[in-house]
Structure formats: structure tokens, C-alpha cells
Structure 1
């Protein structure tokens, strides 16, 4: 008994063959296939010494061309309901995500310090549809600092200390980090506490100072932006330090 081939969906020729999703930023590669830009750029980066098409396995170049008509077709088919289900749901999530990105950046560009700080976080980690860009992350943290946001102050200092998105400047980074910790940034206080424990940033190992700053990071700081993982690490390290410290040097 013969069986009919599976019915072809309008989405079959539109999905990225790497992500298997509808590409938000479709580009045509030199193999003639359309991919999500981020996916094919990652493929090119990983295989640049011996670059072949991820589909045909034949040699290909590195040039990518925006596939504007491809994106327009996807948009039309999703909006009209011709493409539905999980593919459409994920596409619509990206649409909403894009709206939230634009809203946040609009507030940041209008001078909102909290939005500036958030933009820096999202660019730094590649969150919520923001493309990871450490230079842009630093620039937004710097802008947040300039309008008085202590969290931006802390992250700008951290970037200077690590050379993340900006040339490393140890003394400048330490100045801003200490200033932010003194103003109640629990992230900055945590980072100083760990630095004193490990002898980082040019500090001598000083368990008493480490305990002091870690306690501050876990206290009632007015600027709470330390990740939960950092809070847990600070609590664990503080317990270890207090357990090993002489009774006279341990702080309450």
C-alpha cells in the first residue's frame, strides 16, 4: 500500500536550517540558503579555517546578504495565520520582545538612569533579544553613572577593572567600585569582599575586610542588584570566614 508524502507547510522553506525556527534576522549565505544571522555567524566563526555550508557541506565564503523579502514573507504569513503553532508563537514572542527593547532604549535615551543600567545589563549578557555587545554595555553603564545611578557606577568600575568593553584602568575601576560600595551597592560590596578574600585588584589578603564587605553586601543595601547566585556565594563565603576566624576578629 502506497502512502502519501507528508503535506508541505508554507513554513518549511522559511525556517532557518540551523535553529529550525523562523529567522528574525534572515540572511542569505554564499551557499544560497537563508539562515538566522546569529546562527550562521556562529557557524562561520567556529569553522573559519575550513568553512563549508552547514547544509551542503561544500566550500562557501563568508559573505552574508540581508534577506529582506524572506522576513517580509514570514511576517505576512504569521500575521495572516497561514503559519501558526509553535513557530508562530515563538515569532510573536520575538515581536513582543522587540517592542520591549525599543521601549527600554527609548527611556534610556531620554535620560532614565534605571533604564540605562538595565540596557547595560542586557547588552552585557545578551538578554531579552539584545545582541551581546560588551562595548555598548559599558557605554550604558557609564551613562547611568553620569546621571547618578549607583548601580551603573558599580558596573562601570567592574568593567574598568576587568577591561570589559573598555580599556582596563585599574585605579579608575577601583575608585568607582569602592565609591559604589560605600553608597550601598550590594554588588560592589560583594565584589570587594571576594577581592579581599582572594587578594584580587592588588589588595593584600585581608579576611577581616572581606568579612566586613560581605556582611555589607548581605545587609540592607539601598541598591540591590547582586544576582541570587552572588548572594548565595557571599553567604557561603562569609560562613567559612567566620568559622575560621579567631573569635576576636570575627564581626557580628
Structure 2
């Protein structure tokens, strides 16, 4: 099973994807961490991130390795653990411009496809262009959304210490990131035509995870030609009723 989970920041992609992967015994890949990793490498090595030509020229240099254990995902750059450094405000401010460079996207997309192809048993891949560009033939595509206010509240709660910002500033930053990601020419952030949209604004993480797990189980049944039936284990009823805000 290959599961693609897309959506903007603050919708619960990472928490949902990791929990779904753990629940179903699948691998997990945070593609956003890969773009953050290459951005961090650019900043660390003095590459001007606002110079697309310079970024393109350096795109093939860093060695990025992603661990796919959902209980303990890792990201390393040139053999160095980058899990902490890639989450700084400096990286967050630069990642959209770096990830918009076609050479960067081509390099990272190839890496993502390779990881997905080699994942034994299946994988949950989260990002912004997984269902549309990276894995358009995924068995299930989910697009998570939420109101700007809910997303800002969640993101503000994640930021600590010197990286913490007030709610209004976080909301504005998210809106700007959305505009940058949705407006880029190469693989923009958008919902795949055949994706299931889940609005997480009014849902708990547990409800979102239950909903997506049910969707995966239904996709697996369809793929194998089987069916659990309306009242069987993994049936769609309970999760769909709780979600209430799901659309194809």
C-alpha cells in the first residue's frame, strides 16, 4: 500500500501520517523534512537561497538520508543528524524559495520515489505534491485542510523558545507559505483530483487518524478485491460519521 497525504502546514499531516503508519505497520516518509534538509545545507554552506541559479547548481551535492520508522523518523545530511536544525525559523523562512527551484524538486522527487518503491509492506508519504506529482498512482490520496486560525494555533503550540511567535504572526506566515507553495510553477501545492479531502478544523487527532486508517483499509480491500462489509472491522461508517467533513 502506498498512501499519499498532502496539505498545507498546520493541518496535522505529520502527526496523522506517523500515527496511521504505526497503526497499520507501514513505513513513513516526511518529504517536507527532505526539503528542509537541503535548505539547511544551502544555508550552512553559504549558498544564497534567493539565487535560483546558485541553488540549482548545488542541488545535487548534499547526501540526504531519511529514516522511515514512524516511531522514530530521522533525517541526516552528509552523515549529520539534521532533525533539530531543519526546524529553525531561518530554514522555515527559506524553504519555500529553495523548494521552488526545479532542480531541487527533481532531485528530491527522485529520492522520494526510490524510498517509496523500496518500502517493504507499504508506506505513508506526507507532503504537498505527493498525490499530484511524486506518487500519482498511490493507492490512496488524502488531502488534509483546516482553517487558518486552527492551523496557526497548532503551529504556535509547536514552536518553543526563540522560535516561538504570536498567533497572528504565525497565521500570517502560514498564509504567505500557502501562497508561495500554491503559486510555484513546479509541482505546486494542490489537491489531486482523486484525493479524499479531510477538514481537520473541528476534529481531534484521534478522529483524523481513525478516519484515515479506515480509508486505507477500504483502499486495501478494493486493491485486493475483498470487502469487510458495512459492519466489519475497519468499516467506514464510524470514522466517516465522526469526521463529518470529508469530501472527494
Task: Tell me which interval the TM-score lies in, with the shorter structure as reference length.
Answer: under 0.3
Identify, as 1 or 2, the structure richer in strand: 2
TM-score by length of 1: 0.21
TM-score by length of 2: 0.22
Greater CA radius of gyration, 1 or 2?
1
Q: Which has the higher contact order (CA 8 A, sep 6+)?
A: 2
Identify, as 1 or 2, the structure richer in helix: 1
